[in-house]
Amino acid sequence: MNQLELENVYEQANKSAKQSWNAMVNKGEIGYLPSLDGVMQSSEILSEVSLGLVEIPINKITGTYTHSRSISFAHNFMPLMGINTEFANKWMSLYRAHVNEGIRDPIKVYEYLNRFFVVEGNKRVSVLKYVGATSFNAYVTRLVPKRDPGNKVNTIYYEFLDFYKNTHINIIWFTQPGRFKELNEFINQYKWSKNVFDSKEKQFIAEIYRPFRNIYLKEGGARLKITTGDALLNFLKIYGLPEEITANEHKEYIQKLIAELEAIEQDEANVKTDSLEVPKKKGMLSSITDRLSFRRTLKIAFVYAKAPETSGWAYSHELGRLHINNIFKDQIQTTKIINVPESAEAYEVFEQLAKEKYDIIFTTSPTFVAPALKAAMQYPEVKFFNCAGTHSYKSLTLYFGRIHEPRYILGMIAGAMTKTNIIGYVAPYPISEVVSSINAFTLGVRAVNPYAKVKAMWTYRWDNPEQGKDVAKHLIEAGVDIISNEDLPVPGDMSKEYGVYAIGKDEQDKKHYAMAIWNWGVFYESVIRNILTGTWKTLADISAGDQPMNFWLGMNTGIVDVLYSNRNINQPMKSLVEGVKTAIIRNEFNPFIGPIYDQNKVLRVKTGQVCDYEDIINMDWLVDGVEGELPNTEDLKPTDPFSYMKNIVHNEG
């Protein structure tokens, strides 16, 4: 290259530097390159570890060692010095060397929190970033910070250290704890072509991560707040682990994933909590109305993880299906599919139903959320509903009841009836609706009996009455005299071991006090009526077009309620129950009103403050009065139906 061409290149790099510098300053931030001494204190470092010569990703080189070196570069590592400086001449010489023979000498860096800061080779990095290089060799010294369990980034970094020890992969990062372990499980499952790649990990990066990253960024993924690693993990959970990712086969899937992740970031305002009415939208064509114009019946499928004869949960939804059959008669055609696997295999069932031209498919268990989301993304002409209380999706409508409201009342009954002040709670699985239910139940107990404690034990299974009864035996051994167990009995179950009940020496001594009930027919009737009457002009209206819609409905809608025993509960207690129930329905009382303290006596909800939807669905703590702890979801067995989809999304706010 001649001098004029070199100067033109430098001027372009310098222009990029000035643009970056101005952009940072306009945001009120420092425009210069970050320096290690500006982001880290030496007192924070536990140890220094030499990693030797390592290939590192260029995009993770984010700064230099000292502030004195940083002022020569803008925040994007482009050169700020004028073209007539010695700095510029050296930069141009390096660029010429790169074009002619390639920059070969390794740089020297410190690694801190999975970011690299240059000790020697700043100009080399600047040139490499300018030409779009992806990786380069470096002598790396790792600065290991002291452990700080209260710091999320610190926690993630220590998980990264374990991941790096197993894989030597340094180009992936996550925004939430637990995800490095999940990714490592996918890598362990990956099929290694030993005759092509030196290791399974290198093949995974070459065939999965890098192609995904290229497509994801090209399709606009960079505008999301999450990392590429977060997006990839969500992709693998929804679509499974392919042998390789290619634009031809996976571009459409990644586009749909980006749309879903964008919706997830904005789901707070799109939750219906008081009614099922959704305003009509003008100017929209009615896909479902058009289809009904030539087909007189609405085809609806209900998918159950178990049979209604063996599951109280499935039975409650089956009652809802029978209810709408009775209400709408020949206007609808419904079918039920039972014993569907609580795993990714459920997708095959959903796909077949979509191909059979069902208009609406209700997947009635939280364990179906991942395969249901995949099916909803693949078949947008079919409206999928999933019964779960997690975040909103663009393609998949979620519906659930505020079961914590009747749970609070059950807690009041248990607190009043206990004689030992030790109450047992059988908890199925550590998801948001279960955690909030334990907390509401305990608050109800303490409202009438501040001396009582609630012992919580876990079954680690959703809708598993037999396992619930086994856990109840352990609670009895721990000294409880009242137990809160599965909400709903299996049809024909005369054991009384559901809801809230008192234990006895034998069966006849057991007393059943109350249970929370689900009236799913109320929800299903309202959904179908809104569609048939045209209140929801299109199925897209249910999700408000590009914005997702969740239904999270309480006692005021009749979807959840309390049923109590007239024989075993006295009149003063009945009056109290009815009074609290009325107050909840009228929105005059919320079980989650402060002050509320957690198990460690830390104030979580201030006096007079009321928890909203986001507060409740993101509860990851237990209230004062609970004996027991939340399970570490990282330790859940892979065979558990929830384990493969846990944390499929997470509010990154």
516 versus 533: which is more confidently predicted?
Answer: 516
> What's residue 289's pLDDT?
45
d(CA 352, CA 413): 46
**603 and 480: one domain?**
yes
CB of 258 closer than 8 Å to CB of 219: yes
> Which are the contacts of 296, defined by CB distance < 8 A and separation ≥ 6?
330, 331
pLDDT tens, residue by residue, 21-57 = 999 999 999 999 999 988 888 888 999 999 999 999 9
**367 and 416: one domain?**
no
**Cα angle: 629, vertex 635, 638; to 5 degrees:** 130
Residue type, 144: V
Rg of the chain in Å (alpha carbons): 29
d(CA 187, CA 205): 10
**133 and 2: one domain?**
yes
Looking at the predicted structure, is the pLDDT value of residue 285 above 50? no
CB of 564 closer than 8 Å to CB of 575: no
DSSP state of 554: -
**590 and 490: one domain?**
yes
d(CA 266, CA 164): 33
**611 and 506: one domain?**
yes
Residue 652 in any domain: the answer is: no
Nearest CA-CA partner of 515 in 561, 470, 475: 561
Residues in the chain: 653
> What's residue 489's pLDDT?
67
pLDDT band at 322 (very low <50, low <70, confident <90, very high): very high
Number of domains in the chain: 4
d(CA 169, CA 160): 9
Nearest CA-CA partner of 360 in 271, 414, 284, 300: 300
Widest CA span in the chain: 98
> Which are the contacts of 74, defined by CB distance < 8 A and separation ≥ 6?
16, 17, 18, 20, 21, 24, 31, 32, 33, 80
**294 and 382: one domain?**
yes
CATH number at residue 393: 3.40.50.2300
Task: State phi, psi for 362 to the nearest 5 degrees.
Answer: -95, 115
Q: Which DSSP helix (H) or strand (E) runs through 19?
A: helix 3-26
> What's residue 530's pLDDT?
84
> What's residue 237's pLDDT?
87
d(CA 289, CA 298): 10
286 versus 416: which is more confidently predicted?
Answer: 416
Residue 410 in any domain: the answer is: yes
Residue 335 burial (CB count, 10 A): 13
CB of 58 closer than 8 Å to CB of 133: yes
**397 and 411: one domain?**
no
d(CA 155, CA 114): 12
Please give the structure tokens belonging to residue 18. 């000035």
> What's residue 43's pLDDT?
85
Looking at the predicted structure, is the pLDDT value of residue 245 above 70? yes
pLDDT tens, residue by residue, 123-182 = 999 999 999 999 999 999 999 999 998 899 999 999 999 999 999 999 999 998 889 999
pLDDT band at 653 (very low <50, low <70, confident <90, very high): very low
CB of 129 closer than 8 Å to CB of 56: no
**93 and 165: one domain?**
no
**112 and 162: one domain?**
no
Residue 644 in any domain: the answer is: no
DSSP state of 643: T
* Structural domain boundaries, residue 298: 274-401+521-556
> Which are the contacts of 155, defined by CB distance < 8 A and separation ≥ 6?
148, 149, 177
> What's residue 18's pLDDT?
96
Residue 153 in any domain: the answer is: yes
pLDDT band at 291 (very low <50, low <70, confident <90, very high): very low
Looking at the predicted structure, is the pLDDT value of residue 265 above 80? no
Strands 45-57 and 135-145, bridge-based pairing? antiparallel
pLDDT tens, residue by residue, 370-405 = 899 999 999 988 999 999 876 668 888 899 999 999
Residue 650 in any domain: the answer is: no
**110 and 35: one domain?**
yes
Residue 651 in any domain: the answer is: no
Instruction: Classify residue 234 by burial, with Cβ atoms within 10 Å: 0-12, 13-18, 19+.
Output: buried
Residue 89 in any domain: the answer is: yes
**542 and 566: one domain?**
no
Q: What pTM value is reported for the model?
A: 0.75
pLDDT band at 120 (very low <50, low <70, confident <90, very high): very high
d(CA 110, CA 428): 46
pLDDT tens, residue by residue, 561-593 = 999 998 999 999 999 999 999 999 999 999 999
